[in-house]
Structure 1
């Protein structure tokens, strides 16, 4: 389980660019399958749900004015994630890791005007480089 700060959004290209940003506190729950359970190299694949809780949302319109538009987005986003991780032993009960994952938001997050005509879902690809400290007998 992780607890992550995530900034998601979109840009509408053109001569007058509109930018939307939504900040979330994300809690993904990954169920892992280790391809190798012993040794110094332990790659794994994982899947599971991801729970996002909206912190705020801001829009920047073409004249550079920034406005809070949190009220037009749902307070939470439930998604599905899948990924692949490579990790190597880096010390006693410590591992270096590279993690790639894709998360698709199942929740239609736009609840503003004309929401019946607009289908808006988060879709995120993430790459993480980290250093882990093990807890437990089989780390």
Structure 2
């Protein structure tokens, strides 16, 4: 992971040194996230969230650009209708991350681009919300100690520039790191997965 991050930083430095154009911007949008891996047969469902933050687009040719970003992102998963002592429960895992993607953009045709790149995420909050409607129970619990503080993944996406300033994009984050904290002898693995749709403005 360190090698990939250092390589990304080196490429950004090269991009700044050779940039033809540098633009700053803001972006935000919706997330559709879930978890995958060793989930004990739970029927996990996607949950909606959002992301918002800023970016720098370093364009060093007509076709290629690098775009480091800093985003606040709400993620997680939910699972309904689990039975506990005869009662049906509804559970939602709510994660808050500060994500730092570094995207490599290729403008395939005018205004349309594809992008890919690594992402590191820092977990700032993790809470579980459990509801039992039959008992009028709605509890929240801090579960951050059960998850790793750092996530790592790869992003793939595409977008379209409507004007010189306004654009929209769609992206999928494939989580590669195991975010579940495990004890000795437990090789369980859990990964984030997030599909996001964004709109942004470049200054």
Map of 1:68 onto structure 2:
142
Equivalents in 1 of 2:98, 2:185: separation in Å?
Answer: 24
Runs of 4+ in 1 over 3 A off after TM superposition: 112-115
Unpaired runs of 5+ residues, structure 1, are 134-139
Structure 1 residues 22 and 99: CA distance shift in structure 2, 3 A: same
Compare the two structures and name the one with the higher helix fraction.
Answer: 2
Match of 1:27 among 93, 100, 103: 100
Instruction: Kindly indicate which of the two structures has a greater share of residues assigned to strand.
Output: 2
Alpha-carbon shift at residue 115 of structure 1 (Å): 8.5
Q: Tell me how far 1:112 sits from its aligned partner.
A: 4.7
Cα distance in structure 2, aligned partners of 1:11 and 1:119: 18
Cα distance in 2 for partners of 1:21, 1:114 equals: 26
2:74 equivalent to 1:7: yes
Residue aligning to 1:104: 174
- 2:11 alignment counterpart: none
The alignment's C-alpha RMSD in Å is 1.8
Q: Which residue of 2 aligns with 1:58?
A: 127
Tell me if the contact between 1:71 and 1:112 (Cα under 8 Å) persists in the aligned partners. no
User: Residue 53 of structure 1: CA displacement?
Assistant: 0.3
Out of 95, 100, 118, the position equivalent to 2:165 is: 95
- Mark the CA change 1:121 to 1:16 in structure 2 (over 3 Å): closer, same or farther: same
Q: How many equivalent pairs are there? A: 125
TM-score (norm 2): 0.58
Measured in 1, the distance between the counterparts of 2:150 and 2:166 equals 32
Contact 1:80 1:104 in 2 (8 A): yes
TM-score scaled by structure 1? 0.83
